[in-house]
Amino acid sequence: MAKFFYKALKDNKTEVKGYVEAESSREAREKVRGLGFLPTNIYEETFEKPAVETTPAKISHLSLSEKIFFTSELQVMVASGIPVVEALETVEEHAHKPKIKLLARDLKEKIMQGHTLSQALQNYTKVFGPVYNGLCSAGEESGTLEKTLEYMLSILRKEDDLKSRVLSMSVYPAITVAILAVVFVLCGVFIFPAFINGANISENAIPLTVKFVVGTCKFIFNYWMILLVALAAGIFALVQIWEQSAVKKFADETLLKIPLVCDFVRYINLSSFFTVLNVSYESGLTIVSSLELAISTISNSQIKKGAEMSRNLVTKGEMLSQSFVRTELLPPVFNTLIVTGEKSGRLGQMFRDIAIGIDKKLDMVTNALAKAFEPALTVIIGIVVGYIVVAFFQLYGSMISGLF
């Protein structure tokens, strides 16, 4: 049996140290727990101290799937009655990704120093966002952290679902454009040059349509590195321009004037808004605080402006339903639910029903947008394929003419 050194907490306060004999670190951990202590660090005596004793590197980003994994693991254990410190320790021990291990370790150490989970999360506001931190704080204050984590998990999964919808809507156009590009390159690099060389067609006899295809492909292959640099520079410039408030405001206003697109943008923003509003309100936050968190999820500046006006009106004492009517934030049918919730005292339930209703509307708009793309793609396919067919027959005609 190996000898393991341990550090642990006695009564979740006093740090104790000692040795236990065990076959593995897992067994050593169980023995320390059997002594009535909460183990914080265990390593075999013959080994060097592991990296757990070092200060973790700063985590600047977690993917959505990583946030879902971390929150899901934490929620399951907290709901089972396991203390947050021990839950974070388990996440650190079993997580496969280094970033999640570092995150769990850092949060655990801060809680052991006397901070609450929400206070520890303040260092990761850019990673999780204000909604996550705000809801955790509300959950701790109300003593319903496990329920709040469950709510937060539903928000993250909802966000994942929205991203999947947008991605699925763009898959078909992307595949179509890729196939057309491959056909264009095959004709310009292999098919047309093979005809020209095989039939010994003179330079003057090559049709302009064929010269354009072949010349474009040669240009791309000869200057691909310069084109990549130019593309990267163009994307960077567009991002910088987009971040300008005046440009973003103009773009947001324009999107809300395009048929179908305006409905998609409005519903995708309102879906997140009412999901967070429901969760925040059910977690015990005031309606104004709930609105603050919900507003932070809106990406369109014009919709956000309307939501902020509603919050200001509510702050001054106006009913939420009246503020929504004045700002025209919601369609009338959904605002009727707000009125019902205010009268019956079931406002949280109405927020949830509105979020569900908006999701159904979003499904309908997404399907309509996908169908609207089909005619446009058909026209593009027809133009490209028609151009290549015309070029091929012109080249074929030049080849026949060269035989006589």
- 3-state class (DSSP) for residue 319: coil
Contact criterion met (CB below 8 Å) for 391 and 207: yes
Look at the pTM and tell me if it is higher than 0.85: no
Report the DSSP beta bridge partners of residue 42. 6
Q: What is the pLDDT of residue 209?
A: 93
Average pLDDT for 223-234: 94
Contact criterion met (CB below 8 Å) for 298 and 304: yes
Measured CA to CA in angstroms, residue 66 lies from 69, 97, 115, 160 at distances of 5, 9, 24, 11
Residue-wise pLDDT for 58-107, tens only, equals: 677 899 999 999 999 999 999 988 889 999 999 998 888 899 999 999 99
Contact criterion met (CB below 8 Å) for 268 and 117: no
Spatial separation of the C-alpha atoms in residues 90 and 107, rounded to whole Å: 12
> Is the pLDDT at 212 greater than 70, yes or no?
yes
Contact criterion met (CB below 8 Å) for 220 and 184: no
Q: What is the pLDDT of residue 316?
A: 93
Contact criterion met (CB below 8 Å) for 329 and 303: yes
Mean pLDDT of the chain: 85
Average pLDDT for 192-203: 84
> Is the pLDDT at 48 greater than 50, yes or no?
no
Q: What is the pLDDT of residue 14?
A: 67
Domain 64-156 has CATH 1.20.81.30: yes
**Chain centre to alpha carbon of residue 77:** 25
Q: Which residue has the tokens 């949060």?
A: 107
Contact criterion met (CB below 8 Å) for 300 and 269: yes
Residue-wise pLDDT for 115-139, tens only, equals: 888 888 888 888 888 888 888 888 8
Spatial separation of the C-alpha atoms in residues 102 and 109, rounded to whole Å: 11
Q: Which residue has the tokens 């987009």?
A: 242
User: In 95-144, which ranges are continuous DSSP H helix?
Assistant: 98-112, 117-120, 125-142
Q: Where in the chain is the domain with CATH 1.20.81.30?
A: 64-156, 170-404
- Percent residues over pLDDT 90 in the chain: 39
> Is the pLDDT at 354 greater than 90, yes or no?
yes
Q: What is the CATH number of domain 170-404?
A: 1.20.81.30
Average pLDDT for 339-356: 92
Q: What is the pLDDT of residue 44?
A: 65
Highest mean pLDDT (candidates 24-28, 49-53, 232-236): 232-236
